Amino acid sequence: MTPAARFQASIEILDEILRDVPVEKALTGWARRSRFAGSKDRAAVRDHVFGALRCKRSFAALGGAETGRGLMLGALRAAGSDPSDLFTGVGHAPSPVGEDETGRAFLSEAEQYDIPDWLWPVFKASLQDQAINVAQALQTRAPVHLRVNLIKSDSDRAIAALAADGITARAHDACDTALEVLDGARKVAQSQAFLTGLVELQDAASQAIVADLNLQPGQRVLDYCAGGGGKSLAIAAHVGVEVFAHDVNPARMRDLPDRAERAGAQVTILTPDAVRSQAPFDVVLVDAPCSGSGSWRRAPAGKWALTPERLKELSALQLSILEETSGFVPPDGTLAYATCSMLNPENQEVVENFLGSHSGWNMSYQKLWLAAHGTDGFFTAHLTR
**Catalytically active residues, by annotation:** 340
Check residue 186 and report its DSSP letter: G
Other C-beta atoms closer than 10 Å to the C-beta of 50 total 20
Can you tell me the distance from the alpha carbon of 210 to that of 197, in angstroms, rounded to the nearest whole number? Answer: 18
| Cα–Cα distance for residue pair 201/234, rounded to 1 Å | 11
Contact 354, 319 (CB under 8 A): yes
Greatest alpha-carbon span in the chain: 72
Residue 87: phi and psi, rounded to 5, are -85, 80
Question: What dihedral angle (degrees, nearest 10) is formed by the CA atoms of 61, 66, 70, 74?
Answer: 40
User: Are the C-beta atoms of 222 and 283 separated by less than 8 Å?
Assistant: yes
β-pairing verdict for 283-287 and 268-269: unpaired
Q: Which amino acid is at 252?
A: R
User: What counts of helices (H) and strands (E) characterise the chain?
Assistant: 17, 11
355 forms beta bridges with: none
Residues recorded for the chain:
385
Task: Count the Cβ atoms, other than its own, within 10 Å of residue 204.
Answer: 25
Q: How far apart are CA 48 and CA 14, in angstroms?
A: 9
3-state secondary structure 52-101: HHHCHHHHHHHHCCCCHHHHHHHHHHHCCCCHHHCCCCCCCCCCCCCCCC
Which residue, among 178, 132, 182, 183, has the nearest Cα to 158 in the 3D structure?
Answer: 178
Contact 262, 233 (CB under 8 A): no
